């Protein structure tokens, strides 16, 4: 009330009379704000980018490879090869609660001929569900393998975007026919480019996919190379993974505790680790930023102490005229909050500016784009508020406690 | 509350001091600044408190102004007992009952004359509109109606003191308490300010002026002389008698200074 105008005026006056000190103080707060928001913004951007890259492998899936048994089981020796057929997988599907999708993979090298050129290609036979689990999204005007392809053993191919470039260059691959190990195949889909930071049989953009039925008919393959599965709920991954292992071990007669008979890669484990890592990382950045702000706050407190000293006489006069302690306290608190507030606003603006300019640097693929989330802005504002109050409170309290007689004599 | 205020004012003196004592205790040394002051000031009186430096008159002024509290005795201002009050309660008493005029004017330099005059009313919670009207009225009264928006630094010493007087009157206080009001002014401005005080007296204000300025003291209705923490003289000023008594007081000045030096040692 009283005093907004007066406070602003005094602030400007103080700022003018103590240019360097005010600048340094304001700079501390601005710097602290920029540090905390930018660190957290880059953290958020990095996290999004890493989630995106992780999702390139698949949408929270488990991948299982059959191997050799390492433990004897029910009279069967160790070193026995576990072989899984597509029928085994179809059979266990209904036995595992919480299992949403499951697809075998039959993998092999084939020769792909288009026009006069021949290319060696990794080919995988999969079911239509595979596309969804592994985030194989078709480009506009194309599609992934569908159930009718499966049923009719159609000779159709879904190819990676890089493979498509190599083979077809500028041509549109969809609708073209290629010769694969001597048989004609129709290209029905091309992979939408994606970030993929991990793989187990080369990157998806170099591969070709066909229905399992077609693959088996073409090659006579009986046993799957590996299979991919996905739980209905991410949190049930462990249970579903165990369910798959138990059902298969019962059916194929191996020890469910035998890690080598069937090795499972739970990609959500990596995801969970990543969550924990990011939490720790964000916490660390937050603490570093907050400490920077605290240092800025100490600067503000310091300047306020000097300001109180300089204005002792004025405080004394106001008290003589009937100012209560709270009026004096409020005046100095407001002034402190104004300094921290304007420093904070400036800092936030700088951070927003940097964040919106950052994508132009072309580093997005490596570190993601920093984002100042509303939460970060809110937290920063909160910390600034607390620091402003603390930094202002003690000098303001000292001011309010002055003895008017002594204060006026100065 | 206003009616109670008026009632008390009607049948009691504005200032009643009975055996007021003030001891400054620094831990090692105890200094007795006031050694039993009895003083009563009725509504509408103009009294001058005189005395050499170190006589205790500044201490007395601080007590009357409720800037400080006594260590002994009883002090009522406008009938209200000033004892055991908190700092904020003292601030309220100062705000409502006392208008200060200082030697160094003590205006806030960064705000306008009008805003300075409004300051006590802000602390007193007077609504903005009433405040504005009162400020205009007071600035007119002290002859500075055309200087409302000037900063104190843009005014002469005499004008600054007029602004300070307007500020002192803002809350319509029980007394106007002035500490060497002409001390920083040249003779002509000082006489000017004296004229303002005499006008206020005529209008029925109660005025207490602490001063070295005998010319000023002689114009008051009553002179109270303090020496060594005691009232040594308290007399009405007659047109001729006043002049005589004051010269006697001035003569005693040197002696008073000597006793101060002893006290300090």
In the prediction, which pLDDT does A13 show? 66
In the prediction, which pLDDT does A307 show? 81
| Per-residue burial over A261-275, b = 16 or more CB atoms within 10 Å of its CB, e = otherwise | bbebbbbbeebeebe
A162 and A278: one domain? no
Search chain A and give the residue with CA nearest B91.
Answer: A322
Using the beta-carbon criterion (under 8 Å), do B123 and A405 form an inter-chain contact? no
Does A59 fall in a domain?
no
A119 and A92: one domain? no
Residue B3 has pLDDT above 70, yes or no: no
| A9 contacts chain B (CB < 8 A) | yes
Q: pLDDT per residue over A142-151, tens digit each?
A: 999 999 999 9
Q: What is the mean pLDDT of chain A?
A: 85
**What is the distance between the alpha carbons of residues B175 and B181, in angstroms, rounded to a whole number?**
15
> How far is CA B248 from each of CA A65, A338, B49, B109, B214, rounded to the nearest angstrom?
119, 59, 15, 40, 11
Inter-chain contacts counted by CB atoms under 8 A, chains A and B: 57
User: Of A9, A318, A322, which is closest to B110 when you measure between CB atoms?
Assistant: A9
* Residues of chain A contacting residue B108, judged by C-beta atoms under 8 Å apart: 314, 317-318
pLDDT band at B10 (very low <50, low <70, confident <90, very high): low
Residue B4 has pLDDT above 50, yes or no: no
Contact indicator for B197, B221 with CB cutoff of 8 Å: no
Number of structural domains, chain B? 1
Using the beta-carbon criterion (under 8 Å), do A326 and B88 form an inter-chain contact? yes
Residue of higher predicted confidence among A21 and B83: B83
Residue A344 has pLDDT above 70, yes or no: yes
A281 and A365: one domain? yes
A404 and A332: one domain? yes
Instruction: Report, as an integer, the average pLDDT of A337-350.
Output: 86
**What is the distance between the alpha carbons of residues A306 and A313, in angstroms, rounded to a whole number?**
13
A106 and A196: one domain? yes
Residue A120 has pLDDT above 90, yes or no: yes
Polymer length in residues for chain A = 410
User: Of B68, B95, B111, which is closest to A321 when you measure between CB atoms?
Assistant: B95
CATH code, domain carrying B223: 3.40.50.300
Residue B243 has pLDDT above 50, yes or no: no
Polymer length in residues for chain B = 265
A35 and A87: one domain? no
Give the torsion sign (CA, A333, A339, A345, A350).
Answer: negative
In the prediction, which pLDDT does A11 show? 66
User: Of B91, B106, B110, which is closest to A322 when you measure between CB atoms?
Assistant: B91
**What is the distance between the alpha carbons of residues B73 and B36, in angstroms, rounded to a whole number?**
8
Full domain range(s) for residue B68 = 2-264
Using the beta-carbon criterion (under 8 Å), do B122 and A317 form an inter-chain contact? no
Q: Which of A174, A191, A182 is nearest to A112 (CA)?
A: A182
Q: Which residues pair with A109 in a beta bridge?
A: A122
Residues 118-137 of B with CB under 8 A from A: 119-120, 122-124
Contact indicator for A106, A224 with CB cutoff of 8 Å: yes
In the prediction, which pLDDT does B230 show? 94
Instruction: Report, as an integer, the average pLDDT of A150-156.
Output: 93
A311 and A188: one domain? no
> How far is CA A26 from each of CA A288, A344, B72, rounded to the nearest angstrom?
19, 9, 50
* Residues of chain B contacting residue A405, judged by C-beta atoms under 8 Å apart: 62, 67-68
Packing angle, helices A237-252 and A86-93, rounded to 10: 120
ipTM greater than 0.90 = no
> How far is CA B264 from each of CA A129, A387, B21, B228, rounded to the nearest angstrom?
101, 47, 18, 11
Residue A63 has pLDDT above 70, yes or no: yes
In the prediction, which pLDDT does A3 show? 56
Residue appearing with tokens 């005094």: A10
In the prediction, which pLDDT does B259 show? 43
Of the listed ranges A39-53, A165-179, B56-70, the one predicted with least confidence? A39-53
Full domain range(s) for residue A198 = 99-231
* Residues of chain B contacting residue A327, judged by C-beta atoms under 8 Å apart: 123
Residue A283 has pLDDT above 60, yes or no: yes
| A319 contacts chain B (CB < 8 A) | yes
* Residues of chain A contacting residue B91, judged by C-beta atoms under 8 Å apart: 319, 322-325
A242 and A136: one domain? no
User: Of B68, B115, B123, which is closest to A321 when you measure between CB atoms?
Assistant: B123
Contact indicator for A228, A62 with CB cutoff of 8 Å: yes
Does A174 fall in a domain?
yes
A395 and A306: one domain? yes
Q: pLDDT per residue over A174-228, tens digit each?
A: 999 999 999 999 999 999 888 777 778 888 889 999 999 999 999 999 999 999 9
Residue B114 has pLDDT above 60, yes or no: yes
| B102 contacts chain A (CB < 8 A) | yes
pLDDT band at B248 (very low <50, low <70, confident <90, very high): very low
A290 and A224: one domain? no
CA distance A397 to chain B (A): 14
B77 phi/psi in degrees, rounded to 5: -125, 120
Number of structural domains, chain A? 3
Q: pLDDT per residue over B18-27, tens digit each?
A: 999 999 988 8
Residue appearing with tokens 């009632």: B7
């Amino acid at each position: 009330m009283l005093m907004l105008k007066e406070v602003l005026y005094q602030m400007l006056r103080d700022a003018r009379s103590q240019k360097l000190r005010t600048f340094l103080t304001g700079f501390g707060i601005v710097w602290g704000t920029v540090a905390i928001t930018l660190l957290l913004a880059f953290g958020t951007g990095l996290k999004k980018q890493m989630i995106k890259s992780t999702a390139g492998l698949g949408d929270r899936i488990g991948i299982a490879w059959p191997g050799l048994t390492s433990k004897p089981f029910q009279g069967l020796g160790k070193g026995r090869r576990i072989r899984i057929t597509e029928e085994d997988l179809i059979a266990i599907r209904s036995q595992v609660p919480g299992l949403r999708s499951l697809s075998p993979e039959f993998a092999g090298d084939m020769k792909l001929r288009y026009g006069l050129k021949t290319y060696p290609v990794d080919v995988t036979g999969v079911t239509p569900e595979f596309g969804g689990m592994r985030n194989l999204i078709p480009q506009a005007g194309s599609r992934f393998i569908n159930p009718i392809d499966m049923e009719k053993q159609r000779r159709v191919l879904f190819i990676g975007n890089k493979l498509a470039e190599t083979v077809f260059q500028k041509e549109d691959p969809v609708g073209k026919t290629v010769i694969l190990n001597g048989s004609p195949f129709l290209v029905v889909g091309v992979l939408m480019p994606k970030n993929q930071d991990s793989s187990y049989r080369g990157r998806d953009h170099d591969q070709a996919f066909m229905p399992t039925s077609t693959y088996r008919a073409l090659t006579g393959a009986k046993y799957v190379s590996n299979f991919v599965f996905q739980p209905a709920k991410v949190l049930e991954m462990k249970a579903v993974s165990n369910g798959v292992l138990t059902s298969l071990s019962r059916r194929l007669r191996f020890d469910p505790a035998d890690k080598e008979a069937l090795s499972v890669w739970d990609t959500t484990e990596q995801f969970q680790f990543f969550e924990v890592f990011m939490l720790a990382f964000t916490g660390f950045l937050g603490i570093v930023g907050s400490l920077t702000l605290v240092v800025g706050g100490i600067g503000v407190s310091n300047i306020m102490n000097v300001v109180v000293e300089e204005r002792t006489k004025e405080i004394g006069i106001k008290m003589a005229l009937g100012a209560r302690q709270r009026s004096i306290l409020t005046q100095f608190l407001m002034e402190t909050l104004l300094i921290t507030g304007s420093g904070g606003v400036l800092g936030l603006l700088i951070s927003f500016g940097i964040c919106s300019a950052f994508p132009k640097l072309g580093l997005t693929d490596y570190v993601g784009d920093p984002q100042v989330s509303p939460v970060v802005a809110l937290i920063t504002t909160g910390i600034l508020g607390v620091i402003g109050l603390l930094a202002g409170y003690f000098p303001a309290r000292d001011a309010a406690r002055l003895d008017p007689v002594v204060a006026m004599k100065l | 509350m206003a009616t109670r205020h008026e009632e008390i004012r009607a049948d009691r003196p504005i200032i009643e001091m009975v055996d007021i004592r003030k001891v400054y205790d620094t831990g090692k040394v105890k200094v007795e600044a006031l050694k039993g002051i009895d003083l009563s000031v009725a509504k509408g009186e103009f009294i001058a408190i005189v005395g050499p430096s170190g006589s205790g008159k500044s201490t007395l002024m601080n007590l009357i102004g409720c800037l400080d509290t006594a260590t002994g005795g009883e002090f009522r201002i406008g009938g209200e007992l000033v004892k055991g009050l908190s700092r904020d309660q003292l601030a309220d008493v100062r705000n409502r009952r006392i208008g200060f005029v200082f030697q160094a004017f003590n205006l806030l330099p960064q705000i306008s004359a009008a805003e300075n005059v409004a300051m006590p009313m802000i602390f007193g919670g007077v609504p903005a509109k009433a405040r504005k009207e009162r400020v205009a009225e007071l600035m007119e009264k002290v002859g500075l109606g055309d200087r409302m928006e000037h900063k104190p630094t843009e005014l002469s010493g005499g004008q600054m003191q007029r602004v300070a007087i307007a500020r002192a009157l803002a809350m319509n206080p029980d007394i106007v308490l002035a500490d060497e009001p002409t001390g920083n002014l040249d003779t002509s401005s000082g006489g000017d300010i004296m004229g303002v005080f005499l006008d206020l007296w005529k209008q029925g204000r109660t005025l207490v002026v602490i001063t070295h300025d005998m010319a000023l003291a002689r114009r008051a209705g009553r002179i109270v002389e303090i020496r060594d923490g005691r009232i040594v003289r308290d007399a009405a000023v007659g047109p001729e008698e006043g002049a005589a008594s004051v010269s006697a007081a001035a003569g005693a000045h040197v002696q008073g200074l000597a006793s101060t030096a002893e006290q300090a040692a």
